[in-house]
Amino acid sequence: MRSFVKGLALGAGLALTAGIAVVPQVPAYAEEAEPATIAFVDVPRIMRDSAAAKSVRTQLERQEKAYEAEIKAQTDKLRADEDALKKQRASMAADAFAAKQKEFQAKVDGLRQQVERRRQQMSFAQDDAMKKLEPVFNQIVAEVAKEVGATVVLDTARVLVSSNNLDITETVMSRLDAKLPTITVNFNAPATPAASGGGALPPPPRPNK
């Protein structure tokens, strides 16, 4: 199975960046508007090093290992079934072998669907966790920006050159860690007709602690 968690920090950072590009906006029709005061926050670093982001990543990695163990066990069982079927082929009637072969293929297809469901659960879990983190993060950025008198906040990852040294990353990180030290990741993705035929997704296996 491909890694579910690879690239987590990058994906989360990009998802949040759009939400804090401007906090707050400068009035469009203000007369004699003062020059904008720009502050900067290192979003990728927040998504990598904050306590909440680390807690999410730890839970995702633990659950991924549980999923991989689950799929490996089923894959090993199918390989054993395939070997047994090959050995029986010479002593079985053609129609009986065809029936066994069809049954085996159904198991293979079922495993493929299970892999896809697990991928969907991991994707849902990450997205759901980021939805819990994003509003808290944005609120803190807005509060800090107001305190330092910034009218615009930019992500350092999207700025090539700047003479402004108003970096609020440390303050944002500290407050975020205090306000949201951990996030409980939800792996119970809602069922989708395409993935589950209308039924509920099977519960995730319990990861080994």
pLDDT averaged per 10 residues, the chain (length 209): 39 36 44 77 95 96 96 95 91 91 95 94 94 96 94 87 79 98 90 46 55
* Domain-embedded: residue 93: yes
* Domain-embedded: residue 72: yes
pTM, entire model: 0.71
Res 54: pLDDT: 97
Res 119: pLDDT: 93
CA count, 13 A, side-chain hemisphere, 186 = 10
Res 124: pLDDT: 95
* Domain-embedded: residue 60: yes
Distances, alpha carbon 172 to alpha carbons 56, 114, 141, 187, in Å: 18, 40, 6, 28
* Domain-embedded: residue 206: no
Res 95: pLDDT: 92
* Domain-embedded: residue 118: yes
CA dihedral (100, 101, 104, 110) in degrees, to 10, reads: -120
Structure tokens belonging to residue 149: 């008198």
* Domain-embedded: residue 90: yes
* Domain-embedded: residue 200: no
* Domain-embedded: residue 169: yes
Question: What is the 3-state composition of the chain as percent helix, strand, coil, each rounded to the nearest 5?
Answer: 65, 5, 30
Distances, alpha carbon 176 to alpha carbons 118, 153, 171, 173, in Å: 30, 17, 8, 5
Report how many domains make up the chain: 1
Short-list 128, 133, 123, 124, CA closest to 13? 133
Domain that holds residue 168: 8-26+36-190
